[in-house]
Chain A
Amino acid sequence: MGRGRGRDYTGRTMPSPSSAIRPKRGKKGSETPIVTPVSARKRVAPSRQVVRGDRGVKVTRAVTIRRSADELYAFWRQIENLPRIVKHPLTIERVSDIASHWAASAPVGDRRVEWDAVIINDEPGKLIAWRSREGAEIPNAGTVRFAPAPGDEGTEVTVTLEYNPPAGKLGAWFAKLSGQEPAQQVTEALRRFKALMEAGEIPTTEGQPSGRPQNTKAKRS
C-alpha cells in the first residue's frame, strides 16, 4: 500500500505527482482550486514566471483546526514561526514586513539552498500568498487560505504550493528531501501546525528509551 501517495489529509483522491505537473482544470481531483491560483491574482506575475513551462509541480493539502482563522493567520503571518512546523531544518529571516530570506541545508557538498521570498497577497484572517524572487534556484510560490469550517467548528486551512524541481544533483537532493512526495511534506507540516495550535505541542518520541543496541550502552550498570 502506498504511503499516502495520491491522497490528501481528508482521504480524498488527489492527482498523482505526474498528473499534477500540468494541472488539468475541471478534472476530478484538480477541479476549480479551493485557492485561487497565484497566477489569477492581480498583483502577481503570470505563474509561468515562477514555475516555468511544464516542469512545475503543484500540491494542495488541507486540514481543519479547532482555532479561529485570525489566530491561525497570525501564526503564519509571523513568518519566522514556520520552521517550527516544517520538519526539515529551515531558517527564515524577516527582511521587511513582506520580504524574507529562506535557507535550508542541502547535503550536497555541504551547500545550502537559499532564496528570497516576498508576500504578494495578504488578506488578514483569510489568506497569505507568497512567491520566490527572481533568481531563486528552486522557484516556488504558495498560498495559505483560512476559512471557517461548517458549523463554526474551527477553521479549514488549505495550502497550495507550486515549485519548479531543479535538475541535476540539487534536484536529486530535493526529490529525496521531499520523499518523492512533496504533498506528504505539506501534509506533515499541516499536521504539526494543527497539533501545535490544538494541543500546544507537537507529539514526539525522540529521545525516549528502547532496548535497541545504541540505547542499551548508555546506561548498563
Chain B
Amino acid sequence: MKAVCWMGKKKMEVQRVPDPRILNPRDCVLRVTATAICGSDLHLYNGYIPTLEKGDILGHEFMGEVVEVGPEVKKLKVGDRVVVPFTISCGGCIHCSRTLWSCCDNTNPNAALLEALAGQSGAAIYGYSALYGGYAGGQAEYVRVPFADTGPIKIESDLPDDKLLFLSDIFPTGYMAAENCDIVPGRSVVAVWGCGPVGQFAIRSALLLGAAKVIAIDNVPERLRMAEAGGAVAINHDEVDDVQDELRAHTGGRGPDAAIDAVGMEAHGSVYDQVKQTLKLENDRAYALRQAMRAVRKGGVLSIPGVYSGFVDKVPMGAVFAKAVTIKQGQTHMHRYLRPLLKLVEDGKIDPSFVITHRVPLGHAPQAYAMFCDKKDGCIKVVLDPAM
C-alpha cells in the first residue's frame, strides 16, 4: 500500500510498504477513505517530538471502511463505515471507566519511555512517535486499528466524509477546549489564541455552548477571516500595539473570562524562545501561553488544547497565582465527544467541512505538508484522499 512516511526533519515521502494486518484479537483493519494533516503533525514534521523514527507512518485523523476484524471484535463488521478517534483507549482500565479516555493505562507498548519523561504514560496515539506508542498512522491506504470496539464510531447516515472526518480529532479537541472554559451562557467572554483548525473549532464550540463573545487572536488574515465568519471578533496581533490592551478594550476592562491557548509549542513572536528551542535548551516556545496567562480575567480559566512536549521557560506562575486562574488542559478525552458531536453534525448545528481549504491525493502529501507548514496558498486544513 501507499503510506506517508516521515524521513527526517521537513522530509516526508510517500512509500510503498506492506499492508497492515491484524496483530491482536481486538484489532480491525480499515481501508482509509479520508485522512487529514493535523497542526500537531507539524510538530513531528519540524522534528520537535523526540523518538520519531525515519520511516514512521504519520496521521491520526482518518476514517474509512472496515475490511478485516480480529476474533475479539464484537461491535464492528466488515463493510462498516467508521471514524476513528486519534487516541487509542482500552475501555477496561480505571481511567477509561471514568471517561478519562486519553489517560488510558493499557494501550502504549512503550509506556516506559513516556513514564521517564512525564512520570506516567497516557493513551497511545496513531502515528505520533515511539513515545506515544509507535503505532503506524492513518495517512495511508490502509490502517490497523487496535481496540476496535472501544474507539471507532460507526456512521449510519450517508453524510459525506468531509463533514465527519474531523470527529477524529480537531472538532472534539476544540469542543473540549471550549467546554473546559466553564462558559456561562450569555455572559462568558472567551479569547482564543491561534486560529488554526483547533482554534476555529474552539471558537464555534464556545459559541455553541453559549459564550456571549469570542475574541480570536492570530496574524494570518485568512484565518482571522474564517474566525470572523464563525462569529468571532478578530484581533491581528501584528496590527495592534498590545494584545492585552486590545482585549481590555473588548471586555470593558475586565479581561476575558476564559483564555484558550490553541497555539502550543511552536508559537511565533519570541526570538528568545526560537533560539532556545533551536539549541534544544527548551522544548516549547510558549509565547501565546504567557500572553494568555497575563490577559485572562481574575478567577478565570486558562484552557490549553495546544500541544506542549516538555519544558517551558519563563512561565508567569505569579500571574496565574495572583489572579487565582484555573488551568485545564490535556489530550482530548475523545470517546466522550464522538456521539454528542456526531449528533450536532447530523442535526445540522455545525458543518465541520468549513475548515477545509485543500483536497489533494495522498501521493501529494509531501507538498501538502510544506504548504500547510508555511501557511502558503491560504492553507488552513488539508484533506488527503487515498483514492485520488
- Nearest CB to that of A187 among chain B residues? B112
Q: Which of A89-139 contact B (CB under 8 A)?
A: none
Given that A210-B17, A211-B5, A216-B16 are contacting pairs, would A11 and B57 also be in contact in the complex, using a CB cutoff of 8 Å?
no
Residues of chain B having any CB pair with chain A under 8 Å? 1, 3, 5, 7, 13, 15-21, 23-26, 53-57, 72, 90-94, 97, 105-109, 111-113, 115-117, 119-120, 124, 133-136, 140, 144, 146-147
- Nearest CB to that of A198 among chain B residues? B92
Q: How far is the CB of B13 from chain A (nearest CB, A)?
A: 7
Chain B residues closer than 8 Å to A191, beta-carbon distance: 111-112
- Nearest CB to that of B6 among chain A residues? A211
Per DSSP, are chain A's interface residues mostly helix, strand or loop, or mixed? loop
Given that A204-B24, A209-B18 are contacting pairs, would A64 and B94 also be in contact in the complex, using a CB cutoff of 8 Å?
yes
Chain B residues closer than 8 Å to A206, beta-carbon distance: 23
Q: What 4 A-B pairs are tightest by C-beta distance, nearest first?
A: A211-B5, A212-B55, A199-B90, A211-B55
Across the interface, do A199 and B93 meet the contact criterion of CB distance under 8 Å? Answer: yes
Interface residues as binary, A199-221 with B (CB distance below 8 Å gives 1, 0 otherwise): 11111111111111101101111
Residues of chain A having any CB pair with chain B under 8 Å? 1-4, 7, 9, 11, 64, 66, 153-154, 184, 187-188, 191, 194-195, 198-213, 215-216, 218-221
Across the interface, do B5 and A11 meet the contact criterion of CB distance under 8 Å? Answer: no
Chain A residues closer than 8 Å to B20, beta-carbon distance: 208-209
Per DSSP, are chain B's interface residues mostly helix, strand or loop, or mixed? loop
Chain B residues closer than 8 Å to A211, beta-carbon distance: 3, 5, 7, 13, 15, 17, 54-57
Across the interface, do A200 and B56 meet the contact criterion of CB distance under 8 Å? Answer: no
Chain B residues closer than 8 Å to A212, beta-carbon distance: 53-55
Q: How far is the CB of A5 from chain B (nearest CB, A)?
A: 8
- Nearest CB to that of B140 among chain A residues? A209
Across the interface, do A205 and B105 meet the contact criterion of CB distance under 8 Å? Answer: no
Please tell me which one of the listed residues A4, A194, A205, A215 contacts residue B109 in the complex, with CB atoms under 8 A apart: A205
Given that A4-B112, A199-B92, A199-B93 are contacting pairs, would A210 and B106 also be in contact in the complex, using a CB cutoff of 8 Å?
no
Q: How far is the CB of B39 from chain A (nearest CB, A)?
A: 23
- Nearest CB to that of B17 among chain A residues? A209
Chain A residues closer than 8 Å to B91, beta-carbon distance: 199
Known: A208-B20, A211-B5. 15 other contacts (CB 8 A): A1-B116, A4-B116, A7-B115, A66-B92, A184-B112, A191-B111, A194-B93, A201-B72, A202-B24, A205-B23, A206-B23, A208-B23, A208-B144, A209-B20, A219-B19
